[in-house]
Structure 1
Amino acid sequence: MSVDRYKAMEVFNRVVELGSFTAAATALHLPKARVTTLVQELEAHLGVRLLNRTTRRLSLTDDGALYHQRALAMVQDMGELEGTLRRAVATPAGRLRVDVPAAVGRHVISPELPQFFKRYPDIVLELGSTDRPVDLVAEGVDCVLRGGLVHDETLVARPLGRLKVVTCAAPSYLAQHGTPQTLEDLEQHRFVNFHSAKTGRVFPFDFAKGGEARQVHRPHWVSCNDADSHLGAVLAGLGLAQQPLTRRTCALLESGALVRVLPDWTVDALPMVVLYPRNRHLTAKVRAFADWVAEVFAAEFAAGDGLGP
């Protein structure tokens, strides 16, 4: 149904209700000529006469009476539907399917959920915690939280901020293999590498200092595609790693369970984003989650501020 045909149906219903083109025009804030034209165009489209017109009164034809009954129900249904959609856009409510990295779900999102539900009691959250790529449309997921750069034109990425990253190792590893002082020293060390769950590609170590950028590739005893497993392997003394400075990592550094190495070399920060389909309207519940998770991650981003560049 085109917008004009819907408007003509609405106008026709009001003419029947008020019994007058003039009264309908006044009620709808339209010129009388426009009301008359819309009804005439509707009759022409249907190929039937809907109204009997005399100088004194209007009356419905048999076809008009049948059409009015159906048209009135359709306009009412459309009004209810539009009202429901407006409320869905304006009020955070209903089922919300979100997917986040496993470690983020366990250590960042879940501990803060009581505050989320206190703020949004009408949202029912279905939280998936995975590190694999998610097809949002095929899997019916409203939005996902991911770290790293996104190269998918079908998705809209809302930046949350950037997590600082440091190079570190467990004291047990450094006691056995020594502490590297230069990038050249890394030739004598093993890495705990991180690889893409989608492609299997192992990410190199990135370093920058004074305008110089370097990438270092080293063999590993273990490579992980899950942040918790990756951190666990580092704590077990299996090699050097580059870790995002979350509150958890900062606590491990402060306690001595991890030791930062090569502090003069900075590492590219890890961008965090909320992703949702480009062709899907941003509902109130998705916007509410994105706003809330941005607040949650503000504390994560601030955690590394005291540990230098």
Structure 2
Amino acid sequence: MDKLRSIEIFVTVVECGSFTDAAARLEISAVMVGKYIHQLEAELGARLLDRTTRRQSLTDAGRVYVEECRRVLEQMAAADSSIERLRAAPSGTLRISAPSTLGACVVAPAVATFLQQYPEVRVELDLSNRLVSLIEEGFDLAVRIGELRDSDLVAKPLCLYRMVICAAPEYLARYGTPQTPTDLAAHRCLSHMVWNARNEWRLPGSEAQSPWRRDPVLACNDGLGLKMAALAGAGLLLQPEILLRDELREGRLVRVLDAFLPTPRAVHILYRQDLRPLPKLTSFIDHLQREVTKI
């Protein structure tokens, strides 16, 4: 069997924690994973993994060997990248992670125009509010909102994530227009289900910052669903301005409480440190920054 392939499978098994999960990632059968591991152990004359019916763990030899294997794979990836860098135009697969709402409204359209310019690039865009690990999960770039935690990554400012409070004209005609955050107690409010005491939006400008109402008349786990409910007159909506720009411009939603909007949060582009980043990455970063300025 291919020794380099055996090394790759062994490292994947260690990272995934089981033959089954490694097989799913590698898109081969668990039986084939086992054959590669057994063959590798036979060639080395040493057991790398202790396996039981419920768990597996690295042996002493396995702990030493897996670190050397990771270095080998990193060197191979660097060798492949050196060839890709010789190409004048960006090419290859670019894996991007972005928050759901911002990703759908800003990143996805930018990806579309980028692909039109660079047909040799393929993009995998993962829209999720979870914090992915660029290194462990193989992402080239992530777009994140708010406080940064990954000090080992390069961070480039992208824009500010501004919120807006609004409602349909029909709702305001029926319930009135709130003048201060304290007026929210008498209003029907809509809220995203992911907001809680840890990550809630607060409304400054009064004596004490007021949180967005924690007892909404409608809580939903989807931003588009909340927007459609607000358009139908269900209540006051607190949502990213970028998601509502068309409805606000057309008057289908009306801004309120502009003096008490939550403090905007910074949005950054994050990517791994590399003295010579690939053209597909640098070109997309520049493209995304240009596209954001047009919004």
What TM bracket, shorter-length normalisation? 0.5 to 0.7
- 3-state SS of 2:139 partner: coil
Aligned residue in 2 for 1:294 = 289
Aligned residue in 2 for 1:164 = 162
Aligned residue in 2 for 1:62 = none
Q: CA deviation at 1:95?
A: 1.0
* More divergent stretch after superposition (287-296 vs 89-98): 89-98
Point out where structure 2 has 5 or more consecutive residues left out of the alignment.
1-75
- Does 2:280 match 1:285? yes
- Closer, same or farther in 2 for the Cα pair 1:279/1:192, shift >3 Å? farther
* More divergent stretch after superposition (91-100 vs 274-283): 274-283
- Closer, same or farther in 2 for the Cα pair 1:261/1:241, shift >3 Å? same
Counterpart AA for 1:128: D
- Does 2:229 match 1:229? no
Counterpart AA for 1:207: P
Deviations 1:212-259 (A, max 9, x none): 76233422123345432332333343332323222x522211222111
Q: How does 1:6-155 map to 2 (within 5 A)?
A: 81=79, 84=82, 87=85, 92-155=90-153
User: Which one of the candidate residues 230, 245, 252 is aligned to 2:247?
Assistant: 252
- Closer, same or farther in 2 for the Cα pair 1:168/1:93, shift >3 Å? same
- Closer, same or farther in 2 for the Cα pair 1:184/1:105, shift >3 Å? closer
Q: CA deviation at 1:96?
A: 0.7
Deviations 1:52-101 (A, max 9, x none): xxxxxxxxxxxxxxxxxxxxxxxxxx9x9499357269752211111223
Q: How does 1:163-202 map to 2 (within 5 A)?
A: 163-196=161-194, 201=198
User: Which one of the candidate residues 204, 210, 215 is aligned to 1:215?
Assistant: 210
Aligned residue in 2 for 1:239 = 235
Deviations 1:4-33 (A, max 9, x none): xxxxxxxxxxxxxxxxxxxxxxxxxxxxxx
TM-score for both structures, normalised by structure 1: 0.59
- 3-state SS of 1:208 partner: coil
Task: Give me the whole-angstrom Cα distance separating, in 1, the residues matched to 2:117 and 2:177.
Answer: 47
Task: Give me the whole-angstrom Cα distance separating, in 2, the residues matched to 1:188 and 1:89.
Answer: 62
* More divergent stretch after superposition (92-101 vs 151-160): 151-160
* More divergent stretch after superposition (275-284 vs 108-117): 275-284
- Closer, same or farther in 2 for the Cα pair 1:115/1:269, shift >3 Å? same
- 8 Å CA contact 1:195, 1:202 repeated in 2: no
Count of matched residue pairs: 218
Aligned residue in 2 for 1:58 = none
Question: Identity rate of aligned residues, in percent?
Answer: 34
Q: CA deviation at 1:281?
A: 6.5
- 8 Å CA contact 2:96, 2:140 repeated in 1: yes
- Closer, same or farther in 2 for the Cα pair 1:236/1:83, shift >3 Å? closer
- 3-state SS of 2:233 partner: coil
- 3-state SS of 1:264 partner: helix
Task: Give me the whole-angstrom Cα distance separating, in 2, the residues matched to 1:284 and 1:258.
Answer: 42
- 8 Å CA contact 2:93, 2:123 repeated in 1: yes
- 8 Å CA contact 2:181, 2:210 repeated in 1: no
- Closer, same or farther in 2 for the Cα pair 1:233/1:131, shift >3 Å? farther
Which has the higher Rg, Structure 1 or Structure 2? 1
- 8 Å CA contact 1:163, 1:271 repeated in 2: yes
Counterpart AA for 1:229: G
Point out where structure 1 has 5 or more consecutive residues left out of the alignment.
1-77, 301-309
